[in-house]
Structure 1
Amino acid sequence: MKKTLLPLLILLIATASIAQQIPTSSNFKYNDRFEQLGTGLPTPNSYRAASGAPGREYWQQRADYDIKAELDDDNRRIIGSETITFFNNSPDDLKYIWMQLDQNLFKKDGIGAMSRTGTINSEKGMTPDQLADLNNGRGAKLDPKIEYGYKISAVKDKTGKALTYTINNTMMRIDLPVTMKPGTNVVFSVDWSYNITEYYGRSGYEHFPKDGNANYFIAHWFPRLAPYDDVNGWNHKQFLGQGEFALIFGNYKVAITVPADHVVAASGECQNFAQVLTSTQKQRLKKAETSKTPVLIVTQAEAEKAEKRENKTPGKKTWVYKADNVRDFAFASSRKFIWDAMQTDVYKSGRKIWCMSIYPKEGNPLWEQYSTRAVAHTLKSYGDRTFEYPYPVAISCHGVSGGGMEYPMISFNGGRPEEDGTYTEAVKYGMIGVIIHEVGHNFFPMIVNSDERQWAWMDEGLNTFCQYLAEKEWDYNFPTRRGEPNMITQYMSSDKSVLTPIMASAENVIGLGPNAYGKPATALNILRETVMGRELFDHAFKEYATRWKFKTPTPADFFRTMEDASGVDLDWFWKGWFYGTEPVDQDLVSVDWFNINTQNPEIEKEIARKEAERKLGTMSKMQDAKTKGETVVAQDSTMADFYNRYDPFKVTAADKQKYDEYLATLSESERQLIQDNQNFYTISVKNKGGLPMPVIVKMGFEDGTDSVAVFPAEIWRFNDQQINKVISTRKKVVQWTLDPYMQIADIDTENNSFPRVAKPTRFQIFKDQTKKAPNPMQEQGQGAGKISTDPKN
């Protein structure tokens, strides 16, 4: 609707801007959304400062491990012993120690199995595996004839004396004969064994029926120290499978005995390549030190030969790895492994870092072409926005097709082509994406050591955000799955019964993927692009990573650092995105159009003429025009007088004189306002979703051009239900659109335009049959085969 304003426009607008702050809803909550988190965050202290930085007395525990383990390939079993030196860096006396026994997740009567839920599908039926899965911990495929979980055979002090211990599901308490004082350490040992499960997403083996071999991906495999910190004391939350790991840093020396024809990759640096590699392999490794492209250390031909197991009793080899200042240790072992490597200097310092990939022939041609390059790219991309990767090596292992899992310096990643060597676009980009993601986890949480068991988003969300940026840096057209605001709208519009806040414990989240990965990654992208801007965000994010490198931050440390380093108040954002489940849904309810009555006769009479002509545009008038020559006045000129010839819209000398007299009464600023002849619009926007966000409005002008206005989220601070905003333009606006570039994750774009723009719902005449994902490479006969079996030159 268009309305005309008198020249007292400035006063009227000033009055209106005050009036619009008055609450207009009975649901109005004064300042609630924009109040500080305050007591919602833990009180700062000498361990954790109010700025979000580690405090002057910050401390953390440490545990060093000396492990000797053997992989029993025939029985799929691990036998190990470890000596642990635990340092009490806390200010507290400790009477006992808690250790993590993650493999106990798979015990038949363990908490993982007993807390697993499901139902019988009586309509479609159930396979034996599906029935067994209903009572298995974490959904692993378990052999009912095998007993899973740890067998602890000994727990001793450094003199060999037995220590008292108590096992509580996936946790073990070791009682100390003497209380540990602050600044002291204790040395003890644990002997143990367990049967390896089939790979279930984090660890296990993959069996290849065609050649009878298995690839082993061994993780959370040894009893580990639970954290003891200033926030939780002992962190002994049970491992239920969904929440990942809470760990402390230490130095590791690990000797891994495997069949002699196996290749072993692990966290850290191998200490005895001279003993476990052939002379040819050592020469290739030397060449890889200076190569700009990956060099094959173990070729496909060599791996295929080893697969045949021509030597029925290959003997054993022990690979020794050393890893300093890591929070965990994992390894992979198989006779099927192809191995390529190169050293890269991705940072300005020029420091060399080994980038490696381990994969069976089933991974080629994709893995040989892309994996190690993706590793190097990840280190550079993440390092540019956080800190230089501090470890000497990063390894990508091809695990079971699908997702991936991360550990210090090594990750297990999916992505497998067809047997003929072709692959879909989804498989290619999925593989590169998962490598970036899992290698990127070296930064979060392997170095910025957040508590994954409690706060999944602190590693998964931050890492997914960095992955999103790294993917775009890999390929402008990379089909990213998470990060863009419009990709999270379906989840945020879900029924509230299945939504949990981001700030929920990892084990309690329904829909961990969108909640812990997608939603926080999207939130960070919105902060960077829309709320803070790239410069402020990038500085603050880098500050957070640098502050908490090799330390253990909490959510409050992240929130406070982002505000401290940017100078942007974000408490409203953390409340809405991280503590709440409300979606974004802005509704452009109405637009009122005003312009000034200039009293200029040339302008105002022309406006009046057009309005009069518009009113003559009725259907009756258009029909009557066909016979207007037949009217009395048209037929008899004596019936016409002055008023039949009078033009009320003609500008007269008297009109001009009156206008000049009027202008003389105005100030310079008032005359300028009239001469500009601006349009004034009051847009009314409703916050239907509840989550306050910036209001971004695109104005489409009559001449075909457009302009975008951005109003900060604080526009909602006096009324979180509905706001009015006055916008002035010189051009006439014919179309208004909220969030035109999909910046704020608005779940309903149908109400974002004014006037409303109808969008069709598309349908097909014939229902499509279920089809396999298209593989254009295969369809066009472009089978790539299994790439080279010869070492690269």
Structure 2
Amino acid sequence: MKLNPTAGLTLALMASMATAMAQNTPPATAPATRPVVRQRGGAPYTEPNAPETKYNYNETWKPFFYTKNGDEFRAADGQPGPKYWQNRVDYKIDARIDTVKNEISGSEVLTYANNSPQKLTFVWMWLDQNLFKADSRGVKQVPLVKDPTTGRVYPSSRNWGMGQIFDAGDKIKSVSIISTANGKTTTTPAKYIINDTRMQVFIPGGIPSGGKIQFKIDWSFISPDYGSDRMGIVNNPEGKVFQVAQWYPRMCVYDDLQGWNTLPYTGESEFYLEYGDFDINITAPAKNIVVCSGQLLNPKDVYTPTQLARWADAAKSDKTVFIVKPNEVFSPSSRPAGKSELTWHFVVRNARDASWSTAASFVIDAAKMDMPSGKKPLAISAYTVSSAARNARSTEYAKYSIEYNSKKWFEYPYPNATVAVGRAGGMEYPGIVFVGQGGWGVIDHEFGHNWFPMVVGSNERLYGWMDEGFNTFINTLSTANAMNGENMRGGRAFGPTAQAFTRPTLEPILSNPDNLKEANNGTLLYSKPSAGLVMLREQILGPERFDYAFKTYIERWAYKHPSPDDFFRTMEAASGESLQWFWRGWFVNNWQLDVGVRAVSYVDGDAAKGSIITIDNLEKMAMPVTLEIKTVSGKTERVNYTAEIWERNVSWSFIYPSTEAIESVTYDPDHKLPDANRTNDVWTAKK
């Protein structure tokens, strides 16, 4: 029968109304041939004097958190799909440093593989040094501050060159396309446009899907003294210490989510880069030592025989071994003789970036690290004589941090792990970190970044919390467990920091870092996402289920480009829990938590028959509940509920099997949750 649409809609409405009535209204007289439909239980229990609440369980627990279905590129359970793709770029770089002019110059050949389904008629590259030009977008965004003592008004930010006036920016001398036909290689100048920190290069004929292209670029730049706290120069009596990063033209990412990712580098947010191999030659004055991402291939050319023997000793030692001792720095015998310059050759494979540091005043020490596979990469430190005492344990800290995380999550993939002490307070690169001083906290944090985002290659420019927050979280475990916990400083209770995490003036975690007030970066990129994962591990899933799910995420997305949805979906699939209520409250929105203990009454007025305890959810967030119940005799017991008690309730009452009167009921007794109002957390019996 062909049903008229209007008639069909009418019948559907009538049927649904009848079903609803049958489910909710007991029939006056039930036919003998049908069972009686009864309402379950009696009237809902309600405790009088319910407070006003902002909690809306429909909003918190509603479905449709994910805005699109999984597909063949990214699966619904959070793993890469069968047709997932990403592009690749390999770099061959020959660079030179002029330590008098502070100039780095170079020539690079990029081999770019287009694994996308699209033909690409142009590519985008980063020219990060243009941030430090006086007219850059980043410099023009630096806010004004007012000195509270002097009243002076001036621009201030961590994310620029501190107003240094110099010949800043990348100088692009040439861009060419290398092509080979009939065994003959030709180099053709390419048309390009530079806009702020980005360069667009046009490709006649385009790069077909599955095709490759080679570019040759010659460039130079003057290093800033202070490079957005990610690079720079220390000028001291011992000589200059260079930390060199964002130093070569590098490819932007073209992916299945955004196409070309070209949000300009303004200093606030970090980087999103393709994976590939790096082959790097760095020519520096012979008196200088160079440390870099990857493996040094020509140690015999740049170290003395004595130092080579010490390297061999360090490769077998759990204890730190000096390669260049403090009293040997500046001694002519500590450097190979006969040349004014030396070229250092490094290779790092399957990496998203490479950086380096150089100084004539470097003390070098090293020790081996033990990986689960049996590999033994080296932990290395480079620091000046004057800072030797402050950095004496930096190699030890690097070793134990990396060993812990390799065993816990995913094996460290690089041949060396180098701490280079200089201008930057703390900054991470594959296989090398820049620090201002080598304490446990900064070394553990910066090397933690070798998991996020060096191995798990998320988009830092859009989602800084996926590397800073995840790394801050794994730091909590490495600090607690590595080196027998000697670096622990106090507990991790939320307590008074709850308001800092959820105060109304904060933006949500799921914000572009460039869209955050700079003062909020520490909270929204680092501590709040980390605190969320701590809660997820300790209060919601438990360590075993969380650790398995988190490790699954790392393994699935190693050397790939995950999105927030890929993380959320993987954690849900691998743990077996729908966590959309949690993502919605802590990451997507800036909701607060406020649970109060409203009342205690007794069954039939007799405490020996049981106690009825009522709690209320007064703010927008839902979380599990822990209550500590203390009776008049001093006995204490804890009762736990999962967050699902809030799935269809704004208040919750339950019977506690008491045998005597209750003295007090305390919500969240250990302050593990970010409750915004501690004044209603405790109910106390009236005296």
Residue 471 of structure 1 pairs with residue 479 of structure 2: yes
**Who is 1:317 aligned against?**
342
Specify whether residues 486 and 19 from structure 1 end up closer, same or farther in structure 2 by C-alpha distance, changes over 3 A only.
closer
* Aligned partner (choices 622, 625, 628) of residue 692 of structure 1: 622
Q: In 1, distance between residues paired with 2:685 and 2:204?
A: 76
Matched, 1:363 2:387: yes
List aligned pairs for 1:208-607, cutoff 5 A.
208-211=235-238, 213-303=239-329, 305=331, 315-347=340-372, 349-368=373-392, 370-400=393-423, 403-415=425-437, 431-474=439-482, 475-476=484-485, 478-479=487-488, 484-486=493-495, 488-494=497-503, 496-497=504-505, 499-510=506-517, 511-594=520-603
Hey, what's the Cα distance between the residues in 2 that align with 1:262 and 1:482?
Answer: 44
1:43 Cα deviation (Å)? 2.9
Report matched runs for 1:1-150 at 5 Å: 15=42, 29=56, 31-38=58-65, 40-121=66-147, 124-126=150-152, 131=154, 133-134=155-156, 138-144=159-165, 146-150=166-170
Residue in 2 that maps onto 1:637: none
Match of 1:682 in 2: 612
Query: Contact between 1:147 and 1:195, CA under 8 Å: does it hold in 2?
Result: yes
Distance 1:509 1:577, change over 3 A: same
Alignment match of 1:169 (pick from 184, 192, 196): 196
Task: Give the secondary structure class of the aligned counterpart of 1:537.
Answer: helix
Give the whole-Å Cα distance in 1 for the aligned partners of 2:563 and 2:172. Answer: 33
Could you tell me how far 1:314 is from its partner in structure 2?
7.2
The answer to whether the 8 Å contact 1:72/1:78 transfers is: yes
- The separation in 2 between residues aligned to 1:94 and 1:72, in whole angstroms, is 37
1:732 aligns with 2:661: yes
Specify the SS of the correspondent of 2:599: strand
Find the residue that maps to 1:98 and give its secondary structure: strand
Identity %: 33
Matches of 1:263 and 1:725 in 2, distance apart? 69
Distance 1:143 1:250, change over 3 A: same
Query: Quick check: 2:352–2:454 contact (8 Å CA) kept in 1?
Result: yes
Matches of 1:205 and 1:219 in 2, distance apart?
Answer: 8
Provide, for residues 189-245 of structure 1, a one-character-per-residue CA deviation record: whole Å limited to 9, x for no partner: 11111110113454333334333x111111111110000000010000011111100
* Larger CA Rg, structure 1 vs 2: 1
AA aligned opposite 1:501: P
Structure 1 pair 723/24, CA: closer, same or farther in 2 (3 Å)? farther
How many residue pairs get aligned? The number is 636
What's the C-alpha RMSD, in Å, of the aligned pairs?
2.7
Once the two structures are TM-superposed, the CA of residue 587 in structure 1 deviates from its matched residue by 1.9
- The letter for the 2-side match of 1:562 is M
- 1:352-374 Cα deviation digits (max 9, x unpaired): 11111111123332422x21121
User: Residues of 1 paired with 2:544 and 2:148: CA distance?
Assistant: 57
Instruction: Indicate which of 196, 202, 211 corresponds to 2:223.
Output: 196
SS of the counterpart of 1:697?
A: strand
Partners in 2 of 1:305 and 1:751 — Cα distance? 69
* Aligned-partner Cα distance in 2 for 1:482–1:502: 24
2:199 alignment partner, SS class: strand
**Aligned-residue offset at 1:308:** 13
How many Å apart are 1:27 and its aligned residue? 5.9
Does the C-alpha gap of structure 1 residues 737 and 571 become closer, same or farther in structure 2, counting only changes over 3 Å? Answer: same
8 A contact 1:106–1:137 mirrored in 2: no
* Contact 1:76–1:196 (CA under 8 A) maintained in structure 2: yes
Residue 162 and residue 565 in structure 1: after superposition, are their counterparts in 2 closer, same or farther (change >3 A)? same
Q: Which digits, 9 at most, give the CA deviation of each residue in 1:697-717, with x for residues without a partner? A: 101222223111111111111
Higher strand share: 2
RCO higher in 1 or 2 (8 Å CA, sep ≥ 6)?
1
- Greater than 4 Å deviation, 4+ residue runs: 16-20, 23-28, 119-123, 304-309, 479-484
- Give the distance between the partners of 1:727 and 1:304, measured in 2 at CA: 75
Q: Please list the CA deviations of residues 750-781 of structure 1 after superposition, one character each: whole Å capped at 9, or x if unmatched.
A: 32111299xxxxxxxxxxxxxxxxxxxxxxxx
Query: Cα offset for 1:76?
Result: 0.7
Whether the aligned pair in 2 keeps the contact of 1:41 and 1:556 (CA below 8 Å) is no
What residue number does 2:8 align with?
none
- TM normalised by structure 2 equals 0.87
Q: Paired residue for 2:206, among 159, 179, 185?
A: 179
User: Cα distance 1:288–1:27, how it changes in 2: closer, same or farther (>3 A)?
Assistant: closer
Q: What are structure 2's unaligned runs of at least 5 residues?
A: 1-39, 179-185
Give the CA deviation at 1:305. 4.3
What amino acid is aligned across from residue 510 of structure 2 in structure 1? Answer: M
Contact 1:290–1:343 (CA under 8 A) maintained in structure 2: yes
Letter of the aligned partner of 2:190 in structure 1?
L
Deviations 1:111-140 (A, max 9, x none): 1111222145486144xxx84x45x89232
* SS at structure 2 position matched to 1:320: strand
Seen in structure 2, the aligned counterparts of structure 1 residues 529 and 204 have a Cα distance that, compared at 3 Å, is closer
The aligned amino acid for 1:433 is G
Deviation at 1:280, TM superposition (A): 0.6
Deviations 1:338-390 (A, max 9, x none): 1111222242x22211111111123332422x211211212222123321122
CA distance 1:114–1:580, shift in 2 (3 Å)? same
Cα offsets for 1:82-125 (capped at 9, x unmatched) = 11000001111100000011111111111111122214548614
User: Which 5+ residue runs of structure 1 have no aligned equivalent?
Assistant: 1-12, 417-430, 598-676, 758-793
Mapped partners of 1:293, 1:57: distance in 2: 47
- 1:567-601 deviations in whole A, cap 9, x for unaligned? 0110000000001112222222322233566xxxx
Cα deviation digits, residues 45-91 of structure 1 (max 9, x gap): 11100000000001110000000111110011111111100000111
Deviation, 1:549, is 0.7
Code of the residue aligned with 2:543 in structure 1: it is R
Amino acid across the alignment from 2:594? D
Range moving further from structure 2, 113-122 or 244-253: 113-122
Task: Give the corresponding residue for 1:636.
Answer: none
Q: Describe the SS at the equivalent of 1:754.
A: strand
Mean Cα deviation higher: 64-73 or 107-116: 107-116
**How big is the shift at 1:292?**
1.9
CA shift, 1:719, in A, is 2.7
Q: Pick closer, same or farther for the CA change 1:557–1:543 going to 2, 3 Å.
A: same
Between the aligned partners of 1:201 and 1:756, the Cα distance in structure 2 is 57
1:531-577 CA-partner distances (Å, limit 9, x unpaired): 00111111111111111111111000000000101101100000000
Note closer, same or farther for the CA distance 1:463–1:243 as it changes in structure 2 (3 Å cut): same
Matched letter for residue 697 of structure 1: L
The alpha-carbon distance between structure 1 residues 291 and 479, as it changes in their structure 2 partners (threshold 3 A), is closer
The two structures have a TM-score, normalised by structure 1, of 0.76
- Residues 259/28 of structure 1: CA separation in 2 closer, same or farther (3 Å cut): closer
| 2:382 and 2:419 in contact (8 A); partners too | yes
SS in 2 for 1:197: coil
Change (3 A) 1:381 1:269: same
